[in-house]
Structure formats: C-alpha cells, structure tokens
Chains A and B, each alone.
Chain A
C-alpha cells in the first residue's frame, strides 16, 4: 500500500465532504431553543461613550437580554489579552491598553462591540440592536501609524507617566513599545565605512484576512453542573480554552468543551480570542439557553484582525566586492486600537530575525516601534511578519543591484549563506538549506537568460515586460518551548500532542491537537499512519478540534503543523509500533527484534510466519492470550517539543506584462522553487504554494484595507471596494519545483509550507513591475492607476 504513504500525491480525503455540502461548520450547528446575539458596534473610530440607553431596545419583541461591558466587568469577566510580552529597549514593558470584550467608556475603532442584544431570532436581535441608543462624544481619530506617533496625535489609550525610562517621563502617547534587535553601533559603523549604501522607503499595505467562512460562535450552557460547550471557528481550540478560562475567566477550563467543527479557512484570523466568544458564553449562562452569533461579511471586515501595515526605512551596505556588510531597518508597525492575542509578536520576533534572509549579513540592526491607531486590531495574517521582512530585504537587494549596476541574481548568490547550521546576527539559527541550488533551479526553470528576447517580443505588442526575483526565508513552528520561546516573552509553550488509537479491528484513529482549516490534514496525517503499517489511508481517521476528544494541542498557524503535528503523530506511532511488535512477537512466538511491518502485516524476518495488524489489535483488546507484562489496549499518546524552528526557503521568479495605456499588470509567468525539506503529499503542498502565491499576488496587486484618515472609517469595507484575487488573476503560467533539504529539527525532516507563497511572492511581483517600469517608486497594491501615474511621470506613456 505504499501508494498511500509518505511522498504520495493522494487526493484529499476531506474534499468529497467539502464539495458535496456535507461539511459541518459552526454556522450549521443549531441547538434546540437557541437564541441569537447581535452586536451593537461603534460607528465612530474614536469616541467617548456618554450614555447607553437600553430602554427602547429591551421592550422590543423577542428580546431576552442585553449585555454591556459594565455588566461583564461586574460579573468578573476579564479583558482580552495579548499573550506575548515585548520589552522596549529602555527596559519598560509594552503598554497594553485595557481591552474589555464590550467597550466601557470609550471606543477606539469602527466596529468595536459595545452592547450585545440577545433575542429569539436574528432579525429580532437586529431590530432591537437598532433601538439601542448610544450617545457619543466623538474625538479626533488617527489611522496612519506614522501620524499616530506625532506629538499632536490624539491619545488612544491613557497611560501613567514613567519618568524613569521615557524622556520627559512620557512615551509618545500611542507608542506600545520601542524595541530593537541586533547591534546598533556595529551596524552603524559598518554602514558608515561601506563602499556602497542603498536605501529604500516602503509601506507594507494593510490587508483583510478574508477567510471564506466568516467567524461564528454557538455557546451552550448546562446549569445543572455549570458546564459550557462552545462551537467556534477557531484555529486552536485548546489555546482558546486556556485563554477563555485562565485569563478571561468566563468558564472553568475543566467545564469548557470547545469544538471546532469544519473551519473554512482562517489565514491567521481565527487564532485569536475575540469578544464574541466571550460574550456568547456569558450570555448563554445568563439565559440558560444556547446563544449563536454568525458574523456577517461586513462585520468580518470590521472585526477580524487585519494584517501587515508597516512603514519602513531600510539601508544596506556593501563592500567594494559587493559583499553585504550591514543592514539597518527602522519600522513603525500599526497594531490598531487594541492589542490582539499575538499582536506584539508579529512585528518583532516573527519579523526582525527574518531580515537576514538567505544572506550572510554580519551586522543587522532592526528597530520597531509599535503603535496604536483607531483601526481594527492587527495581528497574524498568513506569513505574519515574515512577508513584511521579505518584502523589505528583497526589494532593497533588487534596488541595490540596479543602482550599483550589478546582476541581481549574482548579487544574491555572492552573499548566500552556504554553511549550516548558520547563526544569524538576529537570533535565528538556520537548520539546513541550499540557497544556491534554489536560485539556479529557479533561473533555469524561468528561462531567465532568455528574458530579453521575450521583452523585445512583448514590446512589439506594445507591452512592457519585466522580470523580478525574490529569495525568501521562512521560519516555521514559532516558539518551541525548549528553545527561545519563554525567554523571548511567549506566554505559552508551542509543542504539539497526538494520540493514536488502533481499534480492535485494526483501523486507526489519529487524534491531534492541530486544527486543519483547509490544509488537508485529514489526508496528510492519515498518510503518515498508513505509511507506518502499510495500510490504506481509508483505514485511518483523523480527529482534530474537540477538546473532549483530543486531550491537548496548540492548533494550526505559523506553518507549524508539518513540523510539530506530524512529529507528535510520528512519536505516538513509534510507541504504537513498539507495543504492536511486542504483541506480534508473542503471537508469533518470536523475538521482538525480528518483527518487521509491511502491508498491514507483522512478519518474522526470514520466515513466512506473519500476523495481520487486526490480529495484533484484536489480541491487544481480547487480552487473555497476552502475558502479564503487557497492558491491554493499543493506544498511545506523545508530545513533540521541537528543539528549534524550521527554515524553509525558496526562489521565486515573476514575469509581468504591463499595458502602458491603462497601467494594467498581467502576471504572465510565475516560477516557484521551494525547499520545504521532505514532503508528505506533494499535491497538497503544491496547492499550498499556489494558494500562498495567489495570496501574495492579492497583496501585491489588489488588496488594500484603506481607511479614511479623517473619520477613521474603513472605506474598503466590502468586496465591492476591497479586491480579492480571482481565478482570472492567476499567473498565466505557473511552474513549481521542490528541492529537498530535510531539517534535522524533527523526525520526518519536514519544514512547513503553508505561508511560503504569501511570503515570497509580493517582492517577486513588485520587482518585476519596477523592472518593467524602470522606477522603484511603486507601492503595494500596484494598481493600474499607480502604474499609469508612474509611467506618466516618467513620460513614457504610449
């Protein structure tokens, strides 16, 4: 049955369910007597709440209860938390403004929930929500992170003065932290004494995560024993349970069962704990009835944590032989109106250490100032910090090559890391890789050397053709508890757990603490188990997303499942294998060391004596034949705590054609060569790359969560105004190849693949556009109008 095992492109087991309407999403869960919650949200970006009048609303038909922030506070419900502590370079802690699940006294972004109306039907709840009277005193708003740091910017949160660390006793009012990584003095010196210095100013545009399934909650409460069940669109049910119980105090951990049924995408946005989960649990307890909330798409725009939103200046220095000497990066990161669960981690440890890229850069210094603005909280979106880092470095190198008149591929090649493990000057230690190999493959596959001919041919058709390169580095499986995690401020240890049950009839169940939300886990894990026993994947079921079934887990984000989830499964399989061999040896009257497994059978090597997996499992449960030193049953649990992160890398080449009359860009060819270490299911992994590249293409060409700076309204607040990539935006030709340099950091040598495409593609695309235009002055999204304007000012318009 090797066809189903590791390395086989098995069709995804779960897709029949998804494509025939048999998936069960949180929105599909309906409980008897269920009530519906609707949230009254702030229409203002920044305002004092002067009064809330519920008298009209509470008389409306069907209304059961109306909840406020004050009520939750009085009930002992704590505020939402940010789970990663970052310390400013002057030693002061990050300035975390209080984030009550329902606003108290003040609102800080449009969409912030203030009141929750619970009624018998959704329509009744909406009618009553409209009748809630809130009197606001509006305040000036700030949405741009650079403006938020100006002395006259409106202060979004109020903090105590601290004269011991901040100049004049006060930090800039909206500053969350002013953090650095690397050696500032050494980097400054390297730049000062360098032969060549190239500088770039960049904005990394804000994006909306846009999972196909919007967030949803069904909260149930059983008063007889005070037990809660929460169905929720979450990427990490166990982590959510810890946060809701230990930190927010809305339900005790042992009486809170969280079920993540099928989850329709997340891209990071479903990692975090949101107000709606907290409020629905509270409301269910008060009403003694289930309470349901399903986000509308308009609510999703205003409440799902957004991504990116950096403003950066970067400088790179080279010696006279074009070797990199130093890199200095200064970034302002917009974290929105409040600090979401991992908000502080994204622009720090998921960003700054990645700025070494694939290169030997002896001196690196990164300064990051995180700021509050009157916008939706910003947190992880696919890639989270790593796309921002890659965009800075890969645009800067491309620009340097052009300014210095050297070949862009050769400039990169000259500076590649070539020996592994490689300790960068910014924390991370790269595990393994062959960056030269990636680049060589990508240049060959993209026919890089023949580009000029294609450009000339395009020119005959009136098109401007450009080619761009991006060599990305990725870091997967954030915060192994045994490595830097704790020391760097992580509030959790990010290991993973799996349990394998071999049933009496020899079928296998894999229970694992990750949470697939489109990535094909049910197939990938099944392949690993099938591979171990040589059984078909149909004999394996994979169970995730129910805290009553799966004992522990850390969820799926940060491309961590390949490295951590599969390793936990692998370790549990090791234990199963050992016990199964022991039982088989007993049944076959042989020694354990002589037992081999293939095709679902245990054989004594060198003989034709064998028993099937079913014989072994049956014996494990119908126990009478087994000796006393074997416990009954054939199920085992294992934890995996990685020793370090894994570091996938890749080389992307993008080729575009621009219509100079309209400024429209078409991606005509995209070549991706990725090193994800070993690969379980190449088809699934390629699918992740395709999706990731399209995600990056969306950011590069189409997507922008634009705010009106005066009013703080999200003006791109629906898909009529916010442009997602569509099928016709796909590159006309898409080439993908693997290079396999296994990581030593986990047993299967897997590095992770879910975010790579979104990390590496934006600079490849923009570098192709700047190549075609002959100007560096292009920002994302590179809309037709921006390109047309660039051509106008260059006087090139046809």
Chain B
C-alpha cells in the first residue's frame, strides 16, 4: 500500500471540504472495494476521507411509501432491518446476498452505488425500484445515475447522502452467483409498482453495467407471468463475456432469473 493520509470528518460538509483540498483524495466508506485496490497498489490516493461514521449518512426510515437508507448504512443493517424487511423484503434479501458476513458488516450501500461494479447487487434494486439518489448537491433518478462500467453521474467530490426507494406492490431479486467472487454473474430485479408498472433491472450481465430489460418489461406489462418471458429473445451482443461466462450464457441467465423473479412475486 502506498502512504496515505486518513481523515475523519465530523460532517458531510467537512468531508467535501477535505476532499476538495486533497491532492488526490478519495472517500472511503466500508473500504471493501477501495482498500483491497490500495493493497494491490492499483490505487494510491493521497488522502482518505472517511464517511463511514457520519451520522448524516446513517440510518433507515420508512415514511409515506418511501424507504430511505443512509449512504453509510451497511449491507448487514439493511438485510436485518425490520422496516426494510416489511416494506421491501426483496431489498433486504438482496443485501443479505452480498458477499460474506465480513463484507456485509463493512460494505455500504453508498460505496456500492458510487463504485457501480457491473456485478454488484444494489444497482439492480436501485434501478429496478426506480429509486432516487440524494447527494450533498442534488437528487439523481436511478435511470440517470448509472452511466457505464464503474462510472456514475456523480461529479468529482459529490457525496451520496441517502437513497430513497418507493415501496413497490411486489418485488423480487434472483441472483445467479459468479462462482468464485459471489458477485452476480447475472441478477434480475423485478418490481411491480403500486401503479402497476413493471420494472426489470439486470445486473452482472450488461457490457455497460446495470440496465433495464425493456423487452421483458414489455412482455410483462401485458401479462405478469413468467411464461410471458419465454417469447422474449435477449440479444447477447450487448452483454458481457469473460472467463466467468459468455454473453450467450448470460443471455440465458437473464431470462431464467427474470422468470424466477416473476414466479417468486407470484
């Protein structure tokens, strides 16, 4: 690891200030993506600004059909939250499928979204539920947030403060684990909103990261049953191909996982 300076700010504003002054600073939350990268000397930030203890970024609440989760909330806290389990059980279940207990007890929703790993789970829920990302500067709709592999709409120094999820009528997440890493080789989040609209978000499979499966959404808008998906054909050309799975295989998984998610919703 390269030498780095560690800062523990007392507020979001102070954090942003510290980062803006740093030569090549990075925020750190759970550190479960950033620290391993630093250990391998693939990243060498001059300064680390720790967001994980900021009370402004902590906590889970449910009000008026919206679940709001602070950016520094750990995966474990989301998975075990009574409020989330009751309002959006699929979201709690998804958080419980991330990594292993060590990862879940350190990793945060804000870190996961800012990092936007193509195999990460949260992006599927955020996009599938049509959540809103609140930063220290603005609100960003899920559909505008994820802009490509490991890239987001966040600007330099912008901090995710919280994420608000509209409570759906029903939702389910089906994850096919990548065998080695346990990230999603393909994960499909299906949500049917209170107004009846169906959103289907796919993580792990897209060559540009998480995406909405428009054809499946269309098929399900007519008939919310898994059979409706049979007729959909998923074009592998926009999908990832790597040592863990070819695009053709991922295309198959998109359909299989989508069907299972629809079946799980019942």
A85-93, A594-602, A640-648, A716-724: which lies at the interface: A716-724
Is there a chain A Cβ closer than 8 Å to B1's Cβ? yes
| Known interface pairs A706-B243, A716-B243; A661-B180 also in contact (CB < 8 Å) | no
When chains A and B are docked, how far (Å) is the Cα of A126 from the Cα of B3? 11
Question: Are B256 and A720 in touch, CB under 8 angstroms?
Answer: no
Question: Are A123 and B3 in touch, CB under 8 angstroms?
Answer: yes
Question: A726: nearest residue on chain B (CB-CB)?
Answer: B182
B1-17: CB near A (< 8 Å → 1, else 0) gives: 11100000000000000
| Known interface pairs A123-B3, A130-B41, A721-B244; A702-B249 also in contact (CB < 8 Å) | no
Is there a chain B Cβ closer than 8 Å to A788's Cβ? yes
When chains A and B are docked, how far (Å) is the Cα of A723 from the Cα of B182? 10
**Interface of A, helix, strand, loop or mixed by DSSP:** loop
Question: Are A721 and B3 in touch, CB under 8 angstroms?
Answer: no
Question: A786: nearest residue on chain B (CB-CB)?
Answer: B249
When chains A and B are docked, how far (Å) is the Cα of A350 from the Cα of B180? 31
For the complex formed, measure the closest distance between the CB of A603 and the CB atoms of chain B, giving whole angstroms.
57
Question: Are A783 and B41 in touch, CB under 8 angstroms?
Answer: no
Question: Are B40 and A298 in touch, CB under 8 angstroms?
Answer: yes
Residues from chain B with Cβ under 8 Å of A715 in the complex = 243
Question: A122: nearest residue on chain B (CB-CB)?
Answer: B1
| Known interface pairs A785-B249, A788-B252; A720-B41 also in contact (CB < 8 Å) | no
| Known interface pairs A123-B3, A661-B256, A715-B243; A720-B180 also in contact (CB < 8 Å) | yes
Question: Are B41 and A126 in touch, CB under 8 angstroms?
Answer: yes
Give the contacts of A716-770 with B (CB-CB under 8 A).
Answer: 716, 719-724
For the complex formed, measure the closest distance between the CB of B167 and the CB atoms of chain A, giving whole angstroms.
30
For the complex formed, measure the closest distance between the CB of A1 and the CB atoms of chain B, giving whole angstroms.
42
Which of B40, B246, B249 is most buried by chain A, counting CB atoms within 10 A of its CB? B249
For the complex formed, measure the closest distance between the CB of A794 and the CB atoms of chain B, giving whole angstroms.
15
Is there a chain B Cβ closer than 8 Å to A22's Cβ? no
Is there a chain A Cβ closer than 8 Å to B253's Cβ? yes
Give the contacts of B218-266 with A (CB-CB under 8 A).
Answer: 243-246, 249, 252-253, 256
Is there a chain B Cβ closer than 8 Å to A551's Cβ? no
Give the contacts of A681-704 with B (CB-CB under 8 A).
Answer: 702
When chains A and B are docked, how far (Å) is the Cα of A722 from the Cα of B40? 17
Residues from chain B with Cβ under 8 Å of A702 in the complex = 179-180
For the complex formed, measure the closest distance between the CB of A210 and the CB atoms of chain B, giving whole angstroms.
12
For the complex formed, measure the closest distance between the CB of B150 and the CB atoms of chain A, giving whole angstroms.
15
Residues from chain A with Cβ under 8 Å of B179 in the complex = 702, 723, 783-784
Question: Are A788 and B249 in touch, CB under 8 angstroms?
Answer: yes
Is there a chain B Cβ closer than 8 Å to A591's Cβ? no
Question: Are B244 and A662 in touch, CB under 8 angstroms?
Answer: no
For the complex formed, measure the closest distance between the CB of B44 and the CB atoms of chain A, giving whole angstroms.
10
Residues from chain A with Cβ under 8 Å of B176 in the complex = 662
When chains A and B are docked, how far (Å) is the Cα of A784 from the Cα of B248? 13
For the complex formed, measure the closest distance between the CB of A300 and the CB atoms of chain B, giving whole angstroms.
14
Which of B176, B179, B249 is most buried by chain A, counting CB atoms within 10 A of its CB? B179
Question: Are A721 and B180 in touch, CB under 8 angstroms?
Answer: yes
For the complex formed, measure the closest distance between the CB of B184 and the CB atoms of chain A, giving whole angstroms.
13
Residues from chain B with Cβ under 8 Å of A130 in the complex = 41
Question: Are A722 and B41 in touch, CB under 8 angstroms?
Answer: no
For the complex formed, measure the closest distance between the CB of A38 and the CB atoms of chain B, giving whole angstroms.
11
| Known interface pairs A702-B179, A706-B243; A662-B256 also in contact (CB < 8 Å) | yes
Give the contacts of A115-174 with B (CB-CB under 8 A).
Answer: 123, 126-127, 130
Question: B246: nearest residue on chain A (CB-CB)?
Answer: A785
A448-487: CB near B (< 8 Å → 1, else 0) gives: 0000000000000000000000000000000000000000
The 6 closest A-B pairs by CB, nearest first: A723-B180, A723-B179, A720-B181, A785-B249, A661-B256, A721-B180
* Residue ranges of A at the interface with B (Cβ–Cβ < 8 Å): 123, 126-127, 130, 298, 661-662, 702, 706, 715-716, 719-724, 783-785, 788-789
* Residue ranges of B at the interface with A (Cβ–Cβ < 8 Å): 1-3, 40-41, 176, 179-181, 243-246, 249, 252-253, 256
A-B contact pairs, 24 of them (CB 8 A): A123-B1, A126-B41, A127-B2, A661-B256, A662-B176, A662-B252, A702-B179, A702-B180, A706-B243, A715-B243, A716-B180, A719-B180, A720-B181, A721-B180, A721-B181, A721-B243, A723-B180, A724-B180, A784-B179, A784-B249, A785-B245, A785-B246, A788-B252, A789-B249
Q: A716-B180, A789-B249 are in contact. List 13 more A-B contacts (CB 8 A).
A: A127-B2, A130-B41, A661-B252, A662-B252, A662-B253, A706-B243, A716-B243, A720-B181, A721-B244, A723-B179, A723-B180, A724-B180, A784-B179
